[in-house]
Amino acid sequence: MTALGRPQFLLQFSEVLVKWRRFFNLLAAQQGKSGMDALEQKLELEQLKVRCAYRTGFDFEYVIYIMSPRTIDLLDWNSLINDRTSISNLLVIPNVETGQLEPLLRKFTVEEEKQMKRMLQRVDILAKHAVENGVRLMVDAEQTYFQPAISRLTLEMQRIFNREKPIIFNTYQCYLKEAYDNVSVDVELSRREGWYFGAKLVRGAYMYQERSRAEEIGYEDPINPDYEATNRMYHKCLEFVLEEIDHNRKANVMVASHNEDTVKFTLEKMNQMGLSPTENKVYFGQLLGMCDQISFPLGQAGFPVYKYVPYGPVNEVIPYLSRRALENRGFMKGSQRERSLLWKELKRRLLNGQILYKPVY
């Protein structure tokens, strides 16, 4: 999504969402009052009434009700892409001391407003094109200071476009401490509202950058403490989504991993739950030319397998590939094994006379 417009917009969007979360958590912590009562007392605004409906134990869903039969979400998708609606009027932040809703730190200029609208409209065009052509649109994950906005916008698209089948997929980075909470909250919302949940599970790609920023600014490191903890988080999230698929068949998951243990874990769980590969509820994805010893057997067994191709200038693609290696430390080990298997197969064919050499003229 950062490629479709100015990342600064996503940064400001994320700031709004984080402040709303803190505000609701503060209200929930007030003794002797429900979040609803405290919120109504805090926000006595003309023609606006805010209702807090808690999801799971730790999180919330907030809905702003206009005093009419019509209701809109705080980040209502149609309002966001409507040229007649001002984004700066939609993105408001609660002042904890006064209880008043305030706009972002500064008003957007006319040009900034247009840039943001164009970004969201491009995303809307892509989503509609995916629906028309019957393909899935997977929204990639970014750094944590962009991700709240990306996740929320993707969620809003899922609520609109995933009514008949899973078209829009959100990406969950399992090296984050809050990964399971994010997955479980979104699954719960999809259950209540009746749309198809789509997830792509990855380990994550910005570990050193995230830790460096957390140390520099002075907030808690959002990354799991070690690689083993990330593996446990990945499998915990994956098992949760698989159970959701098993219960109502309205969820899909892309297992985007080069880790053989993760693939084996997925296959074992699917077998236990009786999930058939032909149902096309679980997909696997790896880089083209890497971990083929995983991809090809899966494909031959009837599982949906995707090989994706990063492209672009060498100086941009190489860092991308290096991040893929960092997100999975077993990656290089897997490459060595793959090379060993290829060499073994080459020798077998040579010894069996299956490779014929022809003169080149």
Q: Which residues contact 155 (CB under 8 A, 6 or more apart)?
A: 170, 186, 189
Task: Answer yes or no: is 174 within a domain.
Answer: yes
pLDDT digits (tens, 9 = 90+) for 305-346: 999 888 888 888 887 777 666 655 555 555 566 667 667 777
Q: Specify the CATH number for the domain of residue 229.
A: 3.20.20.220
Sign of the CA dihedral 191, 193, 194, 199?
negative
Task: Answer yes or no: is 212 within a domain.
Answer: yes
Compute the distance between CA of residue 88 and CA of residue 105 in angstroms, rounded to an integer: 10
Last residue of some domain: 135, 167, 189? 135
Compute the distance between CA of residue 213 and CA of residue 144 in angstroms, rounded to an integer: 10
**Residue 71 pLDDT > 50:** no
Backbone φ and ψ of 199, nearest 5°:
-135, 140
114 and 243 part of one domain:
no
129 and 182 part of one domain:
no
Domain count of the chain?
A: 2
Last residue of some domain: 119, 135, 151? 135
160 and 301 part of one domain:
yes
Band (pLDDT 50/70/90 cuts) for residue 99 is low
Compute the distance between CA of residue 276 and CA of residue 223 in angstroms, rounded to an integer: 34
294 and 237 part of one domain:
yes
Q: Which residue has the higher pLDDT, 177 or 338?
A: 177
Task: Answer yes or no: is 41 within a domain.
Answer: yes
pLDDT digits (tens, 9 = 90+) for 268-306: 999 999 999 999 999 999 988 777 888 999 999 999 999
| CA nearest neighbour of 206 among 139, 142, 300 | 142
Domain coverage including residue 33: 1-135
Q: Which residue has the higher pLDDT, 311 or 96?
A: 311
Last residue of some domain: 85, 105, 135? 135
Task: Answer yes or no: is 359 within a domain.
Answer: no
3 and 71 part of one domain:
yes
> Does this model's pTM top 0.85?
no
211 and 328 part of one domain:
yes
**Residue 101 pLDDT > 90:** no
151 and 110 part of one domain:
no
Band (pLDDT 50/70/90 cuts) for residue 37 is low
Task: Answer yes or no: is 361 within a domain.
Answer: no
173 and 320 part of one domain:
yes
Least confident interval from 36-40, 231-235, 262-266: 36-40
10 and 143 part of one domain:
no
Cβ–Cβ < 8 Å for 262, 330 = no
196 and 119 part of one domain:
no
Residue 209 has a pLDDT of 87
**Average pLDDT, rounded, for the chain:** 78
115 and 174 part of one domain:
no
Residue 140 has a pLDDT of 92
227 and 181 part of one domain:
yes
